Structure 1
Amino acid sequence: MKESDCEDIEWQDFESAVKIIVESRSPFQLQKFFCQQLICDGEPKSFDEYLDAVDKFEELIPAAETRGTWATRTLQMAFQGILDCSISVTSSAVYSSSVSSSSGYELQVSNYTGHGELSSGQIYRLRGIVERLKSTEYLADCIGAYTKSRRTAVVARFRRFGINDLQYLDDQEFAAKIRLWIHTAKTFYSSIFPGERQYYNNIFAGVAEATYDNCFLAIVQLVASELNNLVNISPAVSFQSLFAILDLYKALLVILPEIKKMFHTVSCAYISDGASYTINSLETIVRRLFSRFKDAVLNESSNTLSPLGGIHYMTDYTMNFVTSILLYKDVLTNIIVTRPTESLGNEADEQFLEASGGTPLQLHMIWIMISLRKNLESKSTNYKDPSLGRVFIMNNLNYMTKIITGDPELLEMIGTEYQTELSKDISQAAQDYVSSIWHGVLYCSRLDGLSYKIPFVKGILRNSVKKRFKSFNTAFEEVCQTESTRIIPDTHLRAQLHELILSKLLPAYESFSEKFGKHIQSERYKERYIKYSSEDLQNKIQNLFLEYLIVPSGAQDIATVI
């Protein structure tokens, strides 16, 4: 081929390259071109032709003459155009369900790739531009533009979650915000931040000027710092927020390795150090809230009691709370590391706790059970009728026992020894109840005082027998009427109490009736005196404590009455 022919071919290539670049040199045309071609990830042929044209232009023009040429500047404009188009969609997607492009078409957010993610096509094009700008003065500007654009995208995605300060919220709002924070943090550390790191690696691999610190970390550290700052918990938070804070603590433990791995350089060590400090702070808060709960159980002093001796709301709340503690047993075992030091005010209880084995958490759980029992015993004295106080004790301690024995894990934590102590207290309360309430009825069935004995003569005082039967009937009916309003909601406890009453009443009545009933059998109106058979008594007793349904007395929140 002649030299002139080669020159003609090169000149034709040059003219073709110039034509392609010139068609795209207008900033408005360039931005419109790249917005249409890159956001929609259309056919990449046009973009490749553009890059080929720039390469050809640089090849045909001597290096000394191309430095700072408009052909190279169009690469910078293209780079910025891609970023601008992507960030305009990302920002708009935060506030609207759709965004209109400059050419009039509408991009639905649901169809936009990830609300801020770069598509593979965009990454390819950005990388292609970076490769061509590596040795130019425009590279630093492109790195800065990329960092600013992606940081804006990351912040916009963060704002979409709507997370804000955790201070001064009520317990429900606080728990909801904690759940939102956990979801946000997991999303960023498992997806968004790693995604940005991958973008950085794909676009700037081998580019010395784009370092981990000045590019990737500069993009993500603002949101990472804000995530750290948002978990500054108010000292005034209620112990009712304990489980929400434990959820937060567990979530931070899970993502801490990723935080340390991501923010390992000197310039951003404050982020990983801050996360570690937050975990330590949360441990302190958990211990403080756990202590507040214990104090509430021991010292809750409301006088709101069930008039029928039912289950107190504090009992219900406390047992639900300790059952929930089981869900966090592993993590609390690592946080609660010292034995209880608060006084129980009772030497026997102190000795029992001292002799108990197990982890510090187990000892604290036993302490809570002892405290609850002590508080209930104190509340039982507020009943004007001591027998009703004993019913109250039976019901509440039995409720504690049912919850403990119904959950093998809770029983293991509390221990069978204290469960046995509770059972003894229930039995003693039942014995005291029967002795106090049924003493008058049993007294009417005593055998003495109804016979006489004079020298060589002994006999039965029939009028006294009739009066004794009538006294028994009256006393029995009065007790049944009163006790029918008492509440024993637990079937097993109710059956035990029926059995205990009958074990004392039936033998005494049957002995009395057998010995003295025959002496008034001839009376015209004997049914006035002997009103009840043994079966009648048994039926009456077994129908006691059934009239009312039980609900925990009072609807108050335990935290509101401390």
Structure 2
Amino acid sequence: MENNLPENSSSFNKQDANDNNSDTLTSLPAEESPKIATEEKSVHIENQKADEEIENTEIEPEIQYTLETALQDVDRLLPTLCALKGDNENASLDIPEFVEKFLDLVEESILKHESGESKLIWGQVDTAAFLDSVDRMSKLNNSIAELKSDLKHSLLINRVCSIQQRAMSFLEDEFRILLEECRTVVQAEQSDAANLKEKQQGDDETNTKNSNLPGYSSPPEIISTLNRIAKEMISGGYESECCQVYMMARRHVFDETLSKLGYEKMSFDDVQKMQWEALERDIPTWIKTFKECANVLFSNEHKLAQEIFNHYPSISATLFTNLTRGVVIQFLNFAEAVAMTKRSAEKLFKFLDMYESLRDSLSTIETLFPEQCANELRTETTTTRCRMGEAAICIFCDLENSIKSDTGKTPVPGGAVHPLTRYIMNYLKYACEYKDTVEMVFKEHSKIERADSTSRPRTYDGAGQSSVNQEAVEMENQSPFSSQLMRVMDLLDASLEAKSRLYRDISLSCIFMMNNGRYILQKIKGSAEIHCVMGDTWCRKKSSNLRNFHKGYQRETWTKLLGCLSHEGLTSHGKVMKPVLKERFKSFNTMFDEIHKTQSTWVVSDEQLQSELRVSIQAVMIPAYRSFLARFSQVLDPGRQTEKYIKFQPEDIETYIEELFDGNPVSMARRRV
């Protein structure tokens, strides 16, 4: 009977149930119908109440699965995954469902950020959670990749890699933006500070705060975020992308900073082709920028790299080296190109300035670089500095040639200081302001052979053996620079003596030597550096020479005039011979007039020397003339004869002597009128 039931006999539809109920009710006795109806009504009421209670009851919401919860679950899972890495046979595990939910949440977060719906505000909680999720995803990826691979795991790994790539791409963009924003913020602050300073101090542009240069005074929260992003990118396998973004951003900032300092990159050939006038203007900028880099910018750049990549010291060192080493090489190339330009005297001091910059900055620079790179830079910097020093020595030694080549045959008017004397002494005075540097240069490069090495003072006796005097021995014991300076001074003295012989008047020759000698002595005494090199002995010898020239001048000029005032030959048998006396007065007047006419055009520019000469002349002439006049003026007949032969009173002689050496001729006849 059961086998013949329909296949769906155990199923009843609603209509069948209603029909059966209807039949059942119909087949019940009449007396039971009200009772059943009452019970059904009661059940219906109870069901209705139950439905109402269900409707009025609040449905408890499903617990939301958040990113924070997912991170906690992943943190509990990671140790388990790590423990399975070494077990090649059993390295399989069913990945919990929450991993997929975690990935969904991360992907959703990335999508929001990419679409701009939710911009990351760096330094706040949601940012930290995002970075934490990237960190866990990287760890999850590394752990799952070590497990046995099956289709499920492969799909999961592919998805993790895809999401991680998107996350890293987003972080890369944010890393670049933060570096740019960092620069913009600092530039704005720098601009405001500069404007305030300009209002307070006018056009004074000295000493801007180094910390306000682009990218070096970033807010701590930005540095912290950059550090975290770098850590996540590098640990997630995106080291190359992170470093590339950093290098591009920092190189741009660094180039911009150099530009603000006025420095322009120039190739070796560009420097070689430049005219010295243009190059001379660029050298101070090179010095300023090089010192700024060595003392401030490189140090700040090194610190910035260490702060952002503090978890990876080797990466930090590599980035800093790659960024700044090229800049150092640019500086060295410029200096080397300058050192190899055509040498001339006016370049010496710029060369010494550059030499000092290279010397003083090397120790600071090399402490920032890794040992190998520091050694390479030390070698290259030393090589460039040596070339600069060699060029400086050659230029300084060329002073000898400058003196020897000045063979002009035209004497300086009025016996004034020769232009060569002014040039050489000012040059030496300025060079001695670099005394310590020049001494160092000469000592370090003492092997450089001078072209005229045979010019060193040396005398030979008849037997051919050298006899070196005490002065030569002292010179040999001096430093190379001091010896070179002495040679220059000896050559200058010899040149001046030769030029003094161009004057036909020996008195004027003496004036010329006094003018130049006094100028040289005053320059030496006025410079502690050059005086230290030349020494007191040399100065005393020079002063003695000046006194000899002074005596020579008086002898050649005033001794002859004093001969007219001599008493010898004026008397015969106790009587004054008037014709001889008249001739004496006449000769005196003519000679003094000529001396005044001539020597008033001579020039003694040193006021002290001028005063000394006038005083010494007056001391000799006034008493002698006053005595001669007092004794012999009465011999002449008063009136016409006296006026004819006695043209000067002692006061007139004194006045006319005061007019000597002014360089302005004054006619006595015009003055007497």
Instruction: Normalising by structure 2, report the TM-score.
Output: 0.67
**Inter-partner Cα distance in structure 1 for 2:621 and 2:263:** 69
Q: CA deviation at 1:414?
A: 0.9
**Inter-partner Cα distance in structure 2 for 1:132 and 1:360:** 61
Aligned residue number for residue 410 of structure 1: 530
Offset from partner CA, 1:146-173 (integer Å, 9 cap, x none): 3343334334433443333543555554
**Inter-partner Cα distance in structure 2 for 1:368 and 1:513:** 51
Does residue 47 (structure 1) correspond to residue 140 (structure 2)? The answer is: no
Q: CA deviation at 1:525?
A: 3.4
SS in 1 for 2:601: coil
Offset from partner CA, 1:191-226 (integer Å, 9 cap, x none): 22222322322222333873633x332222221221
Q: Structure 1 residues 523, 135: CA separation in 2 closer, same or farther (over 3 Å shift)?
A: closer
**Inter-partner Cα distance in structure 2 for 1:116 and 1:247:** 30
Does residue 19 (structure 1) correspond to residue 120 (structure 2)? The answer is: no
- Residue from 463, 468, 472 that aligns with 1:354: 472
Does residue 221 (structure 1) correspond to residue 325 (structure 2)? The answer is: yes
**Inter-partner Cα distance in structure 1 for 2:275 and 2:497:** 32
Q: CA deviation at 1:395?
A: 0.8
Could you tell me which amino acid in structure 1 is paired with residue 472 of structure 2? E
Q: Structure 1 residues 434, 135: CA separation in 2 closer, same or farther (over 3 Å shift)?
A: closer
Contact 2:503 2:509 in 1 (8 A): yes
Aligned residue number for residue 298 of structure 2: 193
The answer to which of 46-55 and 183-192 deviates more is 46-55
SS in 1 for 2:315: coil
**Inter-partner Cα distance in structure 1 for 2:389 and 2:540:** 33
Contact 2:230 2:309 in 1 (8 A): yes
SS in 2 for 1:167: helix
- Residue from 466, 474, 495 that aligns with 2:611: 495
Contact 1:20 1:53 in 2 (8 A): no
Does residue 139 (structure 1) correspond to residue 239 (structure 2)? The answer is: yes
Contact 2:417 2:516 in 1 (8 A): yes
1:164-179 equivalences in 2 (<5 Å):
164=266, 166-169=271-274, 173-179=278-284
Could you tell me which amino acid in structure 1 is paired with residue 244 of structure 2? G
1:323-342 equivalences in 2 (<5 Å):
323-337=429-443, 341=453
**Inter-partner Cα distance in structure 2 for 1:477 and 1:192:** 74
Q: Structure 1 residues 302, 547: CA separation in 2 closer, same or farther (over 3 Å shift)?
A: closer
**Inter-partner Cα distance in structure 1 for 2:579 and 2:410:** 49
Aligned residue number for residue 260 of structure 1: 366
Aligned residue number for residue 82 of structure 1: 175
SS in 2 for 1:216: helix
Aligned residue number for residue 387 of structure 1: 507
SS in 2 for 1:68: helix
Contact 1:76 1:138 in 2 (8 A): no
Q: CA deviation at 1:289?
A: 1.5
Aligned residue number for residue 589 of structure 2: 473
**Inter-partner Cα distance in structure 1 for 2:456 and 2:291:** 43
Q: Structure 1 residues 191, 402: CA separation in 2 closer, same or farther (over 3 Å shift)?
A: closer
Offset from partner CA, 1:382-436 (integer Å, 9 cap, x none): 3344432322211111111122223444333212222122222222222222232
**Inter-partner Cα distance in structure 2 for 1:211 and 1:526:** 104
Offset from partner CA, 1:233-276 (integer Å, 9 cap, x none): 22413222222221211221221113332344436743321011
Aligned residue number for residue 421 of structure 1: 541
Q: Structure 1 residues 84, 239: CA separation in 2 closer, same or farther (over 3 Å shift)?
A: farther
Aligned residue number for residue 4 of structure 2: none
Aligned residue number for residue 161 of structure 2: 68
1:100-249 equivalences in 2 (<5 Å):
114-117=213-216, 119=218, 120-160=220-260, 161-163=262-264, 164=266, 166-169=271-274, 173-207=278-312, 210=315, 212-213=317-318, 215-232=319-336, 233-249=339-355
Q: Structure 1 residues 352, 529: CA separation in 2 closer, same or farther (over 3 Å shift)?
A: farther
The answer to which of 539-548 and 233-242 deviates more is 539-548
Does residue 434 (structure 1) correspond to residue 534 (structure 2)? The answer is: no
Could you tell me which amino acid in structure 2 is paired with residue 403 of structure 1? K
SS in 1 for 2:227: helix
Aligned residue number for residue 391 of structure 2: 285
Aligned residue number for residue 372 of structure 1: 492
Q: CA deviation at 1:49?
A: 4.8
Could you tell me which amino acid in structure 2 is paired with residue 48 of structure 1? A
Identical counterparts, % of pairs: 23
How many pairs align? 518
**Inter-partner Cα distance in structure 2 for 1:22 and 1:304:** 91
Could you tell me which amino acid in structure 2 is paired with residue 416 of structure 1? D
Does residue 343 (structure 1) correspond to residue 455 (structure 2)? The answer is: yes
1:494-533 equivalences in 2 (<5 Å):
494-506=610-622, 508-510=624-626, 512-522=628-638, 524-533=640-649
Q: Structure 1 residues 330, 143: CA separation in 2 closer, same or farther (over 3 Å shift)?
A: same
Instruction: Normalising by structure 1, report the TM-score.
Output: 0.79
Structure 2 gaps of 5+ residues are 1-59, 71-97, 146-155, 192-208, 461-467, 666-673
Could you tell me which amino acid in structure 2 is paired with residue 198 of structure 1? K
The answer to which of 356-365 and 287-296 deviates more is 356-365
Q: CA deviation at 1:353?
A: 4.5
Contact 2:135 2:236 in 1 (8 A): no
Q: CA deviation at 1:376?
A: 1.6
Contact 2:367 2:374 in 1 (8 A): no
Contact 2:414 2:508 in 1 (8 A): yes
Contact 2:287 2:357 in 1 (8 A): yes
Offset from partner CA, 1:473-520 (integer Å, 9 cap, x none): 122112112111111222322232224333443454345435533321
**Inter-partner Cα distance in structure 2 for 1:134 and 1:46:** 21
Offset from partner CA, 1:121-144 (integer Å, 9 cap, x none): 433222212333344332333233
Aligned residue number for residue 555 of structure 1: none
**Inter-partner Cα distance in structure 1 for 2:238 and 2:431:** 59
Aligned residue number for residue 415 of structure 2: 309
SS in 1 for 2:263: coil
Q: Structure 1 residues 244, 351: CA separation in 2 closer, same or farther (over 3 Å shift)?
A: farther
Aligned residue number for residue 251 of structure 1: 357
**Inter-partner Cα distance in structure 1 for 2:480 and 2:555:** 40
**Inter-partner Cα distance in structure 2 for 1:392 and 1:170:** 38
SS in 2 for 1:486: coil
The answer to which of 164-173 and 327-336 deviates more is 164-173
Could you tell me which amino acid in structure 2 is paired with residue 47 of structure 1? T
**Inter-partner Cα distance in structure 2 for 1:5 and 1:435:** 123
Contact 2:306 2:313 in 1 (8 A): no
The answer to which of 471-480 and 426-435 deviates more is 426-435
Contact 1:13 1:56 in 2 (8 A): no
CA RMSD of superposed structures (Å): 3.9
**Inter-partner Cα distance in structure 1 for 2:135 and 2:584:** 122
Q: Structure 1 residues 128, 407: CA separation in 2 closer, same or farther (over 3 Å shift)?
A: closer
Larger radius of gyration: 2
Q: Structure 1 residues 261, 89: CA separation in 2 closer, same or farther (over 3 Å shift)?
A: closer
